[in-house]
Amino acid sequence: MGQTLGEPITIKETNSCANSRYLVGSSCMQGWRINMEDAHTHLLSLPDDPNAAFFAVYDGHGGAKVSQYVSMHLHNRLVNNTLYAQGNLEEAIKQGFLELDEHMQQDEETKEEMSGTTAITVLIKDSIIYCGNVGDSRAVVSVKGEAIPLSYDHKPSNDEESKRIVAAGGWVEFNRVNGNLALSRAFGDFGFKQNDSKSAEEQVVTAYPEVLKFEISPEHEFVVLACDGIWDVMSNQEVVNFCRERLAAGKEPRVVCEELLDHCLAPDCELSGLGCDNMTVIIVCLLQDDPLETYMEKLKMEPRIPIEVNNDAQKQLVQEAIDADSAGSGDVRLSAQTKRSLIEKMTEMGLVSDELVTFMTTGVKSGSDLLVSVDTDDHVPDEQFTTPSQSPNANSSSQEPCSDDEHPPTHFKVPQTSSSSTPSETAVNQKDVPNSESATVPMEVTSEDSPKKTMNAKKDNVKKDVEKTIPATEAPAAPTTVS
């Protein structure tokens, strides 16, 4: 795990903007990390195309320089591409990603850059969603309460990604590129893009995006874009459920974003590292020119989609937990894909004992030999960090490759900072990006404490409930990729 603070920084940068088509909220939080490397953008209309909206989250690693640079320039690269003017938005997105990455690789100020960033982008034009993605940040859309993936993570463990990595002269070790980088596509990371015999698309790590296209229907409700600091803790459906019930209750998207960050923040970083990353989320409510009251009524009328067990591996995991609990001892290994939320659901259903809950929440066994360990091989935080407010020069002297998780985290004691937000009507977290439309739509905000996780063990009828509601770990079958 990367370097962490003694206590999390919970101050949030929170923004909102709206027009007749979209009601948008965003929030980001440094959390346990020693610096903030995330960046994000939300534009209700692009400077060169007022009929198109653009939203994006960038999760930096090894420093904030690349994520900040991409957040300021990517949307302009896309809209100014020749193919964009011709109406071929899918190819414009692909070319725009590669062109910006190539520009950075040739620029004197950035060509030696060791940092990199993911990019999850959503471009909406003429009621069509174009989602471009590199890395493991993610976007989902709520369709009548069901979480539909708009993107799929690019990990070295994926067969197709692994084949490209090996063909370009790299290797995959411990689910990392060359034993170092925990994702297989990214902007920057130029040390992995040095094979002169391969095209930009064929490099060990590439900025070539996967682009998926979706038509917006009246059943589409809202889009959530977030970095893996959110998705490592909650599943797609859990995030949609969390946001949907709060939006239906009249909370502004920006408030829901803040509550989601608080919900995912770990109470400490001693156990698994989940909930200890930088966190950024954008919620885009698809008003589709409906009055706000009509939109909220739609959210209230449609039923929520239950989270169900839908794969054999997860069923086996639950059964192992039951067997270990019944025996009073054992070693149940939970992968990071199951996330902390699986523990909660299992606890609520009575699938684990009070002693197990005590161990998972405090790290101390209480009257039991039962041990649960959380494997976080697929969650690889990075060592170097810089805050978004820092200038590129301030960050340039500390660029290093990603850290090795074999080393224990370093803790820095800082004063506890109370959570606060800075709501504004800006369209992006970069001051020099124009905001063409940014009027905040008033909504009733319910004042209440951030959601707290409850763990109430119920030991009756355990095996009968195994097939019931617990979060899924696998995404639905991927839609056809636009070529």
- What is d(CA 49, CA 59) in angstroms, rounded to the nearest whole number? 26
140 — phi, psi (to 5°)?
-135, 155
Report which of residues 349 and 316 the model is more confident about. 349
| pLDDT computed for residue 278 by the predictor | 96
Q: Is the pLDDT of residue 156 over 60?
A: yes
398: tokens are 């500390």
Strand partners, 173: 176
Structural domains in the chain plus CATH codes: 4-306+382-412 (3.60.40.10), 312-378+452-465 (no CATH)
Give the integer Cα–Cα distance in Å for 269 and 291.
43
Give me the mean pLDDT over the 456-461 stretch: 38
What was the pLDDT predicted at 205? 97
pLDDT tens digit string along 17-28? Answer: 999 999 999 999
With vertex at residue 317, the alpha carbon angle to CA 316 and CA 321, rounded to the nearest 5 degrees, is 115
User: Both tokens of residue 306?
Assistant: 């239950």
Spatial contact of 182 and 155, defined as CB atoms under 8 Å apart: yes
Output the pLDDT for position 243: 97
Residue with tokens 């902007």: 187
DSSP letter, residue 477 = P
Taking only the tens place, the pLDDT of each residue in 204-253 is: 999 999 999 999 999 999 999 999 999 999 999 999 999 999 999 999 99
Does the pTM exceed 0.85? no
Q: At what angle do helices 253-264 and 236-248 cross, to 10 degrees?
A: 140
- Mean pLDDT confidence for 389-393: 35
Given phi > 0 = left and psi -120 to 50 = alpha, else beta, which region is 261? alpha
pLDDT digits (tens, 9 = 90+) for 105-117: 998 888 888 899 9
Mean pLDDT of 37-55: 96
Residue 356 has pLDDT above 50, yes or no: yes
Q: Calculate what percentage of the chain has a pLDDT beyond 90.
A: 57
Q: Tens of pLDDT along 257-303?
A: 999 999 999 998 876 778 999 999 999 999 999 999 999 999 987 76
Angle at alpha carbon of residue 201, lines to 196 and 203, rounded to 5°: 45
The model's pLDDT over 90-143, given as tens digits with 9 standing for 90+, comes to 999 999 999 999 999 998 888 888 899 999 999 999 999 999 999 999 999 999
Per-residue confidence (pLDDT) for residue 36, from 0 to 100: 96
Contact assessment for residue 424 and residue 432, using Cβ atoms and an 8 Å cutoff: no
Give the pLDDT score at 270. 76
